[in-house]
């Protein structure tokens, strides 16, 4: 499958791995918008949050467990943001489910909707 994040998980494209377990992979965003900007993804391809269902949703819990571990390891155990963009209007650019873990800066609250 021609998927950038599947290729990073497979080691076919370089990525800066910060965490891996049986089901979850995490690596640094190539274009960070915060001092800590890690992408946490299921190893098994899911195209986005709209494709989460009762057969594959267990990995989402694993991803949030991984997020808490990574935030601790990065030095921000109790102050971080997790975001997932789904679909065109939300600005999803890579169609492999991913959660942005952001930390290390005081964040405002705006979805940049222009409203
Ligand atoms: P989205 O816009 O789909 O929510 O997020 C995709 C993210 O993937 C962006 O923050 C972008 O910087 C990141 N990204 C795109 N291509 C690569 C890449 O080749 N390597 C890494 N590590 N991140 C990437
Ligand atoms: Zn994929």
Rounded CA-CA distance 97/15 in Å is: 16
Label residue 71 by pLDDT band (50, 70, 90). Answer: very high
Q: How many CA atoms lie within 13 A of 36 on its CB side?
A: 24
Measured in Å, residue 98 CA sits from the centre of ligand 2 at: 10
Helix (H) or strand (E) holding 40: strand 36-42
Pocket test for ligand 1, best of 30, 41, 46 (most atoms within 8 A of CB): 30
**The ligand 1 atom nearest the CA atom of 83:** 4
H helices, E strands: number in the chain: 2, 5
Average pLDDT on 18-29 reads 98
DSSP 8-state secondary structure symbol assigned to residue 55: T
Residue 16 is predicted with a pLDDT of: 97
- Determine the 3-state secondary structure of 81 from DSSP: strand
Average pLDDT on 74-84 reads 98
1 pLDDT above the threshold of 80: no
Neighbours of 48 (CB within 10 A): 17
14 pLDDT above the threshold of 80: yes
Of the candidates 37, 45, 95, 98, the residue annotated as catalytic is: 98
Average pLDDT on 90-99 reads 98
């Amino acid at each position: 499958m021609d998927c950038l994040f599947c290729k990073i998980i497979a080691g076919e494209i370089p990525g800066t791995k910060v965490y891996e377990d049986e089901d979850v992979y995490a690596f640094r965003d190539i274009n960070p918008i915060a001092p800590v900007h890690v992408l946490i993804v299921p190893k098994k391809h899911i195209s986005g949050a709209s494709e989460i269902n009762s057969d594959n949703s267990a990995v989402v819990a694993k991803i949030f467990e991984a997020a808490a571990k990574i935030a601790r390891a990065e030095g921000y155990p109790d102050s971080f943001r997790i975001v997932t963009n789904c679909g065109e209007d939300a600005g999803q650019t890579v169609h492999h489910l991913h959660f942005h873990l952001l930390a290390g800066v005081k964040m405002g609250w705006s979805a940049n909707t222009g409203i």
